[in-house]
């Protein structure tokens, strides 16, 4: 028994069109699931940085030195020992390997003491850098 035609072994135009239609239908069903995943992933990375990664480094700094870095010292106190007052006496860093940037390439905003959070405010201005709608913060807006 033979599975191939002896003379015309190529595909017909109808067979090719049918395959193209099936591929297009599968793509149309799958595409909505992937659209926007990049932005969602960036937002989740920023949320993890603001709510867990950077605060953990700040808490380690505070455990070693008794205070959080001041607003003037900023997050750079986590990878370079500050020379401005209050100079940490037990600095045991670096607490972070490098200067943290949000997924959109911007510096995180840090203030200590915090206005919105008891010890420090930490936030990212999000993708647009303008409106507050996409800001990511370590406090809850009410």
CATH code of the domain containing 110: 3.30.700.10
CB contact at 8 A, 87 and 77: no
Please list the alpha-helical segments (H only) found in the chain.
13-34, 37-48, 54-65
For residue 6, being part of any structural domain is answered with no
3-state secondary structure of 30: helix
pLDDT at 4 (0 to 100): 56
- Structural domain of residue 78, as residue ranges? 37-137
Q: Tell whether the torsion through CA atoms of 124, 125, 126 and 131 is positive or negative.
A: positive
Q: Is residue 115 part of a domain?
A: yes
**How is residue 92 written in tokens?**
């045991």
Question: Is it the case that residue 5 has pLDDT exceeding 60?
Answer: no
Question: How far is the C-alpha of 96 from the C-alpha of 116, rounded, in Å?
Answer: 24
Total-model pTM: 0.72
Contact 47, 137 (CB under 8 A): no
Provide the number of structural domains found in the chain: 1
Flag whether 22 is in a domain: no
- The tens digit of pLDDT for each residue in 23-56 reads 888 888 777 767 667 788 888 999 999 999 999 9
Please give the pLDDT value at position 141.
62
- Tell whether 124 is covered by a domain: yes
């Amino acid at each position: 028994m033979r599975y191939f035609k002896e003379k015309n072994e190529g595909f017909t135009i109808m067979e090719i069109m049918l395959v193209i239609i099936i591929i297009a239908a599968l793509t149309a069903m799958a595409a909505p699931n992937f659209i926007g995943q990049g932005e969602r992933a960036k937002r989740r990375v920023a949320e993890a940085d603001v709510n867990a990664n950077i605060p953990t480094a700040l808490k380690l700094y505070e455990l070693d030195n008794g205070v959080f870095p001041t607003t003037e010292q900023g997050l750079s106190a986590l990878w370079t020992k500050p020379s401005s007052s209050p100079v940490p006496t037990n600095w045991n860093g670096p607490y972070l390997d490098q200067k943290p940037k949000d997924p959109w390439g911007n510096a995180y905003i840090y203030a200590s003491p915090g206005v919105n959070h008891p010890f420090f405010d930490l936030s990212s201005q999000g993708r647009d850098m303008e409106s507050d709608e996409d800001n990511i913060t370590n406090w809850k807006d009410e």
